[in-house]
C-alpha cells in the first residue's frame, strides 16, 4: 500500500480553504499512486481554536464538510483520513475526531481522540462518554490491511498502540498537531511503537504556526523494523510505502506479541500475567 502524508501549515477557521487544499492534495496523491491520504489533526478547521470557535465550526460526522471530503475521495479514487471537530448531542458537545473515507466516498470510521493534551484540548473538547475500553480503539479491514487510529497525544501512550496491535492492526494512522519542542515523539516514540508492536505507524503533522503554537513537521512512516520515511520541517506531501512481505518477515524475527507476559488492561484494572510463557 502507498500512503500520502499531507504535512501542511494550519488554516485556522477556514473550512473552505482547507477543503480546497484537500482537493489539491488528493489530486497530487492520486498522481503519485497513493491509496490513502492522511491529513493532520483538526485539519478541517485548524487545531488551536478555543471552545467558542470549536463549537461554532463543529459538524456531525455526516455533515456538509464530510460529504465534500467523500466527494473529493471518490473523484480522485484516494481514501482520505482527516481531523475535524465532531458535533454531538445536538451540538452541545464536541469531540476531537478523525474521519476515514474510502476511495469510493464511503465513510468507514470516525475515531474520537482519547487522551487530551494540556489545557487547550480539555477546554475545547468534551470528555469521551462512558468507560474507556477496547471498543474505543477499533481496527478495520481495508484493502487487505488492518487499520487502527490514534490522534496525536494518543500515540504517546503505549497501551493504545498495544491494544490496536493485539486487535490485529497492521497500520496505525495518526493525524497530529505536534509542536516543535516535542521532537522526541517523532525521533524516539514513533519508531519504538512500530517496533514493539510490529506494525507501521503513519504520522501526519502540521508545520508552520498559528496564533498559539509552532508545529514541528517531521511527518513520517515508521516501519516495524524501526526505519523511518521522514518529512522535513516545511510543507510537503510525503509518499511512503507499506510492504506486506517486510512486515511478515519482521514479525517472524521479532515476535513481541507472542512472547509478552502481560495483557493490556482497562483503566483502573490490574495487569495480569499471561502464563504459561509461550514458546
Residues with a known catalytic role: 41, 113, 152
DSSP string, 219-272: -EEE-TTS-EEE--SS-EEEEEE--HHHHHHHHHH--HHHH-SB----TTSPP-
Distance separating alpha carbons of residues 144 and 136, to the nearest angstrom: 22
Distance separating alpha carbons of residues 116 and 151, to the nearest angstrom: 10
Label the pairing between strands 2-7 and 36-38: parallel
Helix (H, G, I), strand (E, B) or coil at 148: strand
**Nearest alpha carbon to residue 101 among 77, 120, 127:** 77
Distance separating alpha carbons of residues 141 and 171, to the nearest angstrom: 10
Amino acid at each position: 500500500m502507498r500512503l500520502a502524508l499531507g504535512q501542511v501549515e494550519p488554516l485556522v477557521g477556514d473550512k473552505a480553504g482547507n477543503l480546497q487544499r484537500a482537493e489539491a492534495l488528493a489530486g497530487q496523491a492520486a498522481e503519485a499512486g497513493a491509496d490513502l491520504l492522511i491529513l493532520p489533526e483538526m485539519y478541517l478547521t485548524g487545531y488551536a481554536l478555543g471552545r467558542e470557535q470549536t463549537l461554532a465550526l463543529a459538524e456531525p460526522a455526516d455533515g456538509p464538510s464530510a460529504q465534500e471530503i467523500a466527494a473529493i475521495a471518490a473523484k480522485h479514487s484516494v481514501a482520505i483520513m482527516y481531523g475535524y471537530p465532531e458535533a454531538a448531542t445536538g451540538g452541545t458537545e464536541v469531540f476531537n475526531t478523525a474521519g476515514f473515507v474510502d476511495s469510493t466516498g464511503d465513510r468507514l470510521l470516525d475515531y474520537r481522540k482519547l487522551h487530551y493534551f494540556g489545557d487547550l484540548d480539555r477546554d475545547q473538547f468534551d470528555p469521551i462518554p462512558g468507560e474507556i475500553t477496547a471498543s474505543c480503539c477499533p481496527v478495520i479491514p481495508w484493502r487487505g490491511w488492518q487499520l487502527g487510529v490514534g490522534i496525536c497525544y494518543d500515540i504517546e501512550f503505549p497501551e493504545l498502540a498495544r491494544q490496536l496491535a493485539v486487535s490485529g492492526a497492521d497500520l496505525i494512522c495518526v493525524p497530529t498537531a505536534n509542536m516543535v519542542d516535542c521532537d522526541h515523539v517523532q525521533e524516539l516514540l514513533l519508531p519504538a511503537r512500530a517496533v514493539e508492536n510490529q506494525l507501521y505507524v503513519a504520522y501526519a503533522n502540521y508545520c508552520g504556526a498559528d496564533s498559539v503554537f509552532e508545529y514541528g513537521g517531521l511527518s513520517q512512516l515508521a516501519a516495524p523494523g524501526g526505519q523511518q520515511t521522514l518529512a522535513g520541517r516545511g510543507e510537503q506531501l510525503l509518499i511512503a510505502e507499506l510492504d506486506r512481505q517486510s512486515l511478515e518477515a519482521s514479525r517472524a524475527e521479532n515476535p513481541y506479541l507472542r512472547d509478552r507476559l502481560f495483557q493490556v488492561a482497562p483503566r483502573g484494572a490490574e495487569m495480569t500475567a499471561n502464563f504459561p510463557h509461550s514458546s
